[in-house]
Amino acid sequence: MSRLCLVFACVLMLSAFSLVTARYQSRLLFVSSERMAAKTQELDVEWRRLQLERAELARNARVDQIARQELKMVVPTPAQTVYMKNGQIVSGPAAVMQGGEQ
């Protein structure tokens, strides 16, 4: 009887320790999951910032200015454009049209 008591006492002690450890572990894990969530949010914010930066760089006004002034580009006229529909040339400069018909 007294031996059984001792065994139970030991088991009880063990379970008490494991409870404390488990609880501690769960708190540690929770803290790290919190940190991950914060990181997610941080990355989302960063993504927003980058998206804005890209928008700033790709602004039409800026692209237009660089294309015209720095790269000396011009807008193509319809006479220089070949229009295609389903792989077929439907309209374009005379030379292309003649070439297409041959």
Partner 1 sequence: MKRFRFHDSPVLNVQMPLWRSRLVLVLMLLGFLAIVAKALYLQGLSNDFLQQQGERRYEKTLVLPATRGKIFDRTGQVVLASSVPARAIWTVPEDAQKATPEQLGELARLLEMPLEDIRARLANLSRNFVYIKRQVSVDTAQKIAKLKIPGIHQQAEVRRFYPEGGMTAHIVGFTNIEDRGIEGVELAFDHLLSGEPGTRRVIRDRLGRVVEDVQAAIPPVHGKDLYLSIDAGVQYDLFSALESARVKNKAAAAAGVVIDVKTGEILALANLPTYDPNESANRQGKALRNRAMVDTFEPGSIMKPFTVALALDLGRVRPDTKFDTGNGKYRYQGAVISDVSRNGVVDVGGILRRSSNIGMTMISERLTSQEMWTKFTELGFGRAPNANFPGVAEGRLRPWERWRPIERATMAYGYGLSASLLQVAHAYTAFARDGDMVSLTLVRRQGKPTSVQVFSPQIAATVRAMLDEAAGRHGTELAQVQAYRVAGKSGTARKLVNGKYSTKQYRSSFVGFAPVSDPRIVVAISIDEPHGGVYYGGRVAAPVFSEVVASSLRRLGVQPDAPLEPVLAAGPDDGVPR
Which of 17, 30 has the CB closer to partner 1?
Answer: 30
The residue from 79, 87, 88, 102 that contacts partner 1 (CB under 8 A) is: 79
First vs last C-alpha separation in the chain: 109
83 binds partner 1 (CB under 8 A): yes
Q: What is the largest CA-CA distance in the chain?
A: 110
- 3-state class of 84 per DSSP? strand
87 binds partner 1 (CB under 8 A): no
| Contacts with partner 1, 26-65, as mask; x by CB under 8 A | -x--xx--x----------x--xx-xx--xx-xxxx--x-
- 3-state class of 83 per DSSP? strand
Q: One-letter amino acid identity for 22?
A: A
86 backbone φψ class: left, alpha, beta (φ>0; ψ -120 to 50): left
List residues near partner 1 by CB under 8 A: 27, 30-31, 34, 45, 48-49, 51-52, 55-56, 58-61, 64, 75-79, 81, 83, 85, 90-91, 93-94
